[in-house]
Structure 1
């Protein structure tokens, strides 16, 4: 008799319940173990948090109290108390009584002086061990540092009271025990603080462990203890272990309730699962049996007797079904994957042009076209016609552009060779078309470019050229066939700089771009300068090629060389011109000085009225000649770029008033009215070049006086403040003179230009004054302009930029304040001058002193060494034969004239007036400077000044 199989529900219950019981037991043990571990860990973590909180409390008490004491020590009341000894007793006690720095009930404060004596206190009854008392005094009073101590003697904190960084006293706070400071703070567990000997300084549960006892006497059985060190103290957290067991008991009850509920749920789920599975499989079996018409009486295999009846019946029906379906499903899946993985579009139609099969690429293509799939397919079939392949043009709806698709038609035949339809395969060539078109455009553009272009492959041996355009052929003479496959070394020659070639090789080796110029040779041997720009090209993130742009810059190089030579010639010409002007200045000023000196000597003699008149005419002529020379030199300095604008404070109101006084006399002689109007906005002292400002205004005033016979001259000056805080000075000079014609006004500021020749003949002048004034205005950040009507006068207006300055910065005049002079004393003066006339003039000017002359620096050194008399002052000409004044001065300063002349005052007498002359005098060691021609009074004043200076008061300033 055949054994009846067990039902699925009974089999599931009998098989799963023992396993579930074992699983529940294991899970229960694990849960209890994890719970116990978690509780122990939580207890330990709670104790560590408690110790951390205790440490933070102690830290906070010490640091916060120290900070408060430090703030208090910086209080003016405390600091003044150490200085104001007599009055501190009146206010300090009241101030101390108002202090409350901690929550402790018994706190003692005291203020100590630098010697450690208590000045004032609050509740101070502290009995401190000598070691602790000595420690805080040494740290705070001795080293000016804060001090804190927590020990069995209590808590002591001291901070220095600083005066200029040094401790002049100390504020000390003392609490007799740590217990009173920490008691107000809440605690997570029982907390203890002991010192290094185990003495209890603080206990959060005094009933359990009393403060002042020794912790080693505490019976710790039944307690969990965690400790940590803080400085010289030990912090403890004490918690009874019974607390952990109580928590474990409650956790166990909760876990047992959870396990019981889990068992009930599992049993219910298993029962429901068995019932549902039995019902489902039975129904499935009936459906499969009806479908496959299986034999229901077939016996089960011996190894399946214990299986459920439902599964045994289903197995037979599934065996055949799975076998059949597996083959079909696998074949269809593989075919579908092949279709979808195709990069091309595919559609299969029957003989009635109905779609049998299409892949997703074809479906997406149809979605991107106007019309339906059937209409699109009909269009493709019509266009192909009898041909097997053709490229068709389609319009994309999504991109709005044309798409190029190559369609291929293949007949669909069955196993017997009968034609069942057609297969259409479409390959999208739009991107390839675009790429090919783009490449053609780029290639054409590069080939037609006027700049030589080459491309080299640096990954291949020898880094050969793989492309060269037509411009390269025209530039070098090499054809593409001759250069492609080779490199450009054939274009280098013996004059090509090796250093430039090394730089190119290094740039390629390091894959860096480079731009350089090197000498190359064309195919016919012609040299040319090649401006080469090499740029690396990356492929897939790696530099594989270099593109080179070449340009023939031979003509540019030649032009640059020509310009360089021209620049050097111009600089040499300017240097020669400057040297010539310096020489001419010296040569012209020397005879002018002789004439001026003679006239000054004549002026000091007895003359008739007619002779005095002639003498005044000669002096006026000399002044005019000197003015012309100065104009020419100023213009030359500007033209050579040697004129420098000084930036120094000056009183502009004083300058204007001096000019007004100076020209008032000239106007009075001609019967003209002179009016000055000022609107300086309070800026009397400004920063700028006072000399050049007065030169501009003097030129304009001089012209106004010269060209005005009747009427008035009006000068208006105002200052405005710019947005950038600089100052803008606007000055205008208006006259009622002859005026300037409209057609001459555009050239009036040109060099050597006056209105006409008659003006020059009638009024004189060089025509440089206005040109110099215009250029000076430009150098000072401004401009000058003219408004004039012929016969009705002129108005010249100019602007310059200034800055604000402090009146205290104006330097006092050296002659009045620098030293104390002694008038009337006879001095010994050595005059070193190669010009006989100038020697005579200088001697005559200094007739009240003892003078000796020398014609060169060599004679001067000989005189200084041989003569016993010691000269008080040396007057040194700069330009002399054999040895000039600069060299002679350097030798005197170096001791070649003896130690007595190391600091002798030396005054330069020079006819030079170019840039650098004054600096050369100072650099050579001269003390002062007089430019020829000079007045006799200036000479005597300088000799008197320098001769009267004591040795320890010698000045080196040049005026």
Structure 2
């Protein structure tokens, strides 16, 4: 047989061809990258050279222009244009000292405003006419600087300014660009040409001379870079051979590096092969020394070429594995199988001595009382006559009982003799616990008082798989009758189809749903079923729905009864509201009669005693009217008919009016009244001024009533909230009788005062504070009390307001374009069914012509038949035959004639409930006057409407 090749030789023969190819490819890539880098660097250098040339020209032109401009602003130059007699003394010396550039020949001249040269320095310039005209027009004509770089040279002119106007020009001229740029260092050969290609500057005049045509220059063998500046072309010219020289030097360096790299790689491969050969040989000798010296053939003969060292190692390992596998394979595999068992395993001989046990059995014994031998003895004793049995064991570690299913099997040897027993234990604790848990849950569901039904939505038809006892009691269906069927058997023809569709959509989208449906029992009777369907997920997928059912028939009936009761209560409230409105009308009508008569008496001659009696009667009327208003307001609140208005009002004006009103009452009782304001600048606000004044007036009235000495203090403040709304806090503090602690909790209740003695001594209905409390709540606030019996009380309340513009405040009446005629006698039709009220109104309007009618029908007849034309109508709302609302509608529709379609109509009514104002507006009335009213209010409204033409927009801002 041939001797195998050495490992070192194999490594060298395999690596050298690959190494040669790698070095070749790498060398080509390096040379290519180097050439590309040098070309890019050459191009970058030329670009830098062109940029530098552009910067130099810019600098020369701009810097020279700046210096000339500084000279033009010099007092010597400016005086030279003014001081014609003395300039010859100092100007020549000044010009001889000028030196602005590094050029050898530079010419300067000063010209006057006509373009005539005044003085110069070496000025021999012969310029073409176009260039001469260009700088004169730009500098002398437009007062701007001028610069030109061309084949004629470099010319720069700046104006000499007097009061912003060019009175002359300072001009510098250099005959060529070459002389200006020559002193500057250059990176490459640089050229400047004009648009025709004439060379104006060359950094290498020996290569390209200034003045030649650049197109005549042969650029072959040169790399060029071009840029434009103004009307010039800038070039960078560099011989291409320079780049190749750099590449040559780079190539020598790269070749040297590659050669060294090759030498190092070859040396490393050789050393690696030798080291591997030596290491494997030593390994082979070590393995061989541990094995028998007998020759054994390998299992498989290898014919492939391999290193001798590796072949020796393979032979040695083949022999070693062959010997060891026969001895240890079966024991190792058997041990692994036993240890990997999920059950406990123990093998005993005929004397019950342990031959073998796995780790699971050892861990089990560690958790029990006693040692392993005693535990095994107990197990073998209990399984002495049977093959399997479930035994209970107490785990000390876990603190609970374990259920182990033990199985016994005889141990046979190779000759068929019994050598012992094999015990296998399976832990059934979790399964028993789960079974117990399931039994508890099933029992709980079976005995639940709520009907439970479960359906499998993954199966066709979504059949019911479980119902509990409550379901059977609720529906009358047994488990056998419903399981396997769809729950739609509970539906009837009267079941709401929308509810059924909602249930189907919820199941289709796997969402929960709670609804009430009308279902049928087994006997056909109906019941309302409150159904709560909940999806059940297994492994993230909804597979079942569990439904909880509840019979809510009784609840539905109760809700129906409650709805009927609510409707009856609302009807009762409407009847009550109507009754109160009627009573208000009936009470206000005689009160108005009494009040009117008292007003008429007040206008007659009376004795002092009669005037005193009259004042007492007026006071009684006001008290009676206050009681009626309180009862009416409370009824409005109770019936939900009180509306909170929102309109701009001057809160400071309202407070000052209340202060003036109650100052007289306090003065009569000897009380001091103090008002404190902190309105934060919010004088005009948006809210209900009437109800605000009503709350504060109630509290002030009580304070005055229940305070005999001391003072009353009113504090009002406004703060702005985060949502830009306003909160008004107002408190009324008195030094009166106070309120006992045990009475304070009920002081805001209806018809409640502190005690009966208060009622007897002070009078009142006990509605004021209750109404104030509810008004505060309707206005988004609250009212509070702080009082000590015998030491006075403090009532504080808050209401919500909004910001308002002062321009939004409405006048008492809408603006009119018509002029009023003061003292003019108007014709007024009074439509009123009450004789006393007719007399009172007529007496109040003695300054005007009046005619009365007792119903709407009489009013229509009077308007239609009488030739006289009325200026205004006073219309009562509640009248027999035809009320004021119907009469107004007919007048507006033209039944009284076209001349009365737009006649002003003022409502005279005792009605004050919610909706009365709207009814007046809807009927077409223009204004509203509530009974009882003052004579001044009546006269003012009549004279206003009778002498003012109606605008297109009906005035409807009535105040009830």
1:24 aligns with 2:24: no
Whether contact under 8 Å (1:892, 1:902) holds in the other structure is yes
1:838 aligns with 2:837: yes
Tell me the residue number matched to 1:783: 783
Tell me the residue number matched to 2:441: 442
Distance 1:210 1:557, change over 3 A: farther
SS of residue in 2 equivalent to 1:524: coil
Q: CA deviation at 1:532?
A: 0.8
SS of residue in 2 equivalent to 1:489: helix
Aligned mates of 2:929, 2:198 — CA distance in 1? 94
Tell me the residue number matched to 1:718: 715
Aligned mates of 1:802, 1:204 — CA distance in 2? 92
Map 1:730-741 → 2, pairs under 5 A: 730-735=731-736
Whether contact under 8 Å (2:679, 2:717) holds in the other structure is no
Say which of 263, 269, 294 aligns to 2:266. 263
Distance 1:682 1:270, change over 3 A: closer
Aligned mates of 2:796, 2:771 — CA distance in 1? 14
Distance 1:880 1:312, change over 3 A: closer
Aligned mates of 2:147, 2:890 — CA distance in 1? 82
SS of residue in 2 equivalent to 1:463: coil
Q: CA deviation at 1:875?
A: 2.7
Distance 1:256 1:443, change over 3 A: farther
Distance 1:354 1:465, change over 3 A: same
SS of residue in 1 equivalent to 2:842: helix
The superposition leaves residues 389-427 of structure 1 with CA deviations (integer Å, 9 ceiling, x where unpaired) of 344555667766554433333232221123344433232
Distance 1:206 1:326, change over 3 A: farther
Tell me the residue number matched to 1:797: 794
Aligned mates of 2:556, 2:932 — CA distance in 1? 51
Distance 1:533 1:449, change over 3 A: same
Map 1:503-652 → 2, pairs under 5 A: 503-605=502-604, 615-616=614-615, 618-646=617-645
Q: CA deviation at 1:543?
A: 1.4
Tell me the residue number matched to 2:424: 425
Distance 1:723 1:275, change over 3 A: same
Tell me the residue number matched to 2:675: 678
Aligned mates of 2:906, 2:237 — CA distance in 1? 94
Whether contact under 8 Å (2:682, 2:718) holds in the other structure is no
Distance 1:520 1:811, change over 3 A: closer
Aligned mates of 1:937, 1:205 — CA distance in 2? 114
Aligned mates of 2:838, 2:280 — CA distance in 1? 141
Distance 1:209 1:598, change over 3 A: farther
Whether contact under 8 Å (2:703, 2:712) holds in the other structure is no
SS of residue in 2 equivalent to 1:342: coil
1:458 aligns with 2:439: no
Distance 1:568 1:589, change over 3 A: same
Structure 1 residue ranges without an equivalent (≥5): 58-116, 129-187, 228-232
Tell me the residue number matched to 2:730: 729
SS of residue in 1 equivalent to 2:850: strand
Distance 1:690 1:502, change over 3 A: closer
Tell me the residue number matched to 1:409: 408
Aligned mates of 1:735, 1:601 — CA distance in 2? 38
Say which of 257, 272, 291 aligns to 1:254. 257
Tell me the residue number matched to 1:230: none
Distance 1:541 1:852, change over 3 A: same
Aligned mates of 1:907, 1:264 — CA distance in 2? 125
SS of residue in 2 equivalent to 1:814: coil
Q: CA deviation at 1:462?
A: 2.4
Once the two structures are overlaid, the 10-residue window that deviates more, 629-638 or 774-783, is 774-783
Once the two structures are overlaid, the 10-residue window that deviates more, 885-894 or 559-568, is 885-894
Aligned mates of 1:547, 1:595 — CA distance in 2? 77
Tell me the residue number matched to 1:344: 343
1:500 aligns with 2:499: yes
Whether contact under 8 Å (2:776, 2:799) holds in the other structure is no
Tell me the residue number matched to 1:169: none
Whether contact under 8 Å (1:782, 1:798) holds in the other structure is no
Aligned-residue CA RMSD (Å): 5.6
Distance 1:31 1:386, change over 3 A: farther
Structure 2 residue ranges without an equivalent (≥5): 53-137, 150-186, 228-232
1:849 aligns with 2:852: no
Aligned mates of 1:206, 1:564 — CA distance in 2? 115
Tell me the residue number matched to 2:811: 814
Aligned mates of 1:210, 1:909 — CA distance in 2? 117
Aligned mates of 2:611, 2:654 — CA distance in 1? 32
Distance 1:454 1:804, change over 3 A: closer
Whether contact under 8 Å (1:282, 1:310) holds in the other structure is no
Aligned mates of 1:287, 1:560 — CA distance in 2? 100
Q: CA deviation at 1:262?
A: 1.0
Map 1:468-507 → 2, pairs under 5 A: 468-507=467-506
Aligned mates of 2:234, 2:341 — CA distance in 1? 78
Tell me the residue number matched to 2:72: none
The superposition leaves residues 798-842 of structure 1 with CA deviations (integer Å, 9 ceiling, x where unpaired) of 111157888973977835995675431222334344444434433
Say which of 273, 288, 301 aligns to 2:276. 273
Q: CA deviation at 1:555?
A: 1.8
Aligned mates of 2:224, 2:358 — CA distance in 1? 75
SS of residue in 1 equivalent to 2:545: strand
Tell me the residue number matched to 1:133: none
Distance 1:544 1:698, change over 3 A: closer
Map 1:852-863 → 2, pairs under 5 A: 852-855=851-854
The superposition leaves residues 640-663 of structure 1 with CA deviations (integer Å, 9 ceiling, x where unpaired) of 233344566766676566556545
Distance 1:852 1:369, change over 3 A: same
Whether contact under 8 Å (1:395, 1:401) holds in the other structure is yes
SS of residue in 2 equivalent to 1:712: coil
Once the two structures are overlaid, the 10-residue window that deviates more, 832-841 or 314-323, is 314-323
Whether contact under 8 Å (1:496, 1:519) holds in the other structure is yes
SS of residue in 1 equivalent to 2:522: coil
Whether contact under 8 Å (2:584, 2:911) holds in the other structure is yes
Whether contact under 8 Å (2:208, 2:217) holds in the other structure is no
Distance 1:494 1:190, change over 3 A: farther
Whether contact under 8 Å (2:491, 2:520) holds in the other structure is yes
Distance 1:417 1:573, change over 3 A: same
Q: CA deviation at 1:428?
A: 2.4
Distance 1:122 1:756, change over 3 A: same
Map 1:734-773 → 2, pairs under 5 A: 734-735=735-736, 750-752=749-751, 765-773=764-772
Distance 1:288 1:758, change over 3 A: closer
Q: CA deviation at 1:567?
A: 1.4
Once the two structures are overlaid, the 10-residue window that deviates more, 590-599 or 530-539, is 590-599
Aligned mates of 1:220, 1:538 — CA distance in 2? 85
Aligned mates of 1:205, 1:903 — CA distance in 2? 107
Once the two structures are overlaid, the 10-residue window that deviates more, 853-862 or 262-271, is 853-862
Whether contact under 8 Å (1:777, 1:784) holds in the other structure is no
Q: CA deviation at 1:566?
A: 1.4
> TM-score when scaled to structure 2?
0.70
Q: CA deviation at 1:192?
A: 14
Q: CA deviation at 1:549?
A: 0.7
The superposition leaves residues 559-611 of structure 1 with CA deviations (integer Å, 9 ceiling, x where unpaired) of 21122111111122212222222222223223332343344334444566776
Q: How many residues align?
A: 814
Whether contact under 8 Å (2:827, 2:872) holds in the other structure is yes
Aligned mates of 1:439, 1:208 — CA distance in 2? 107
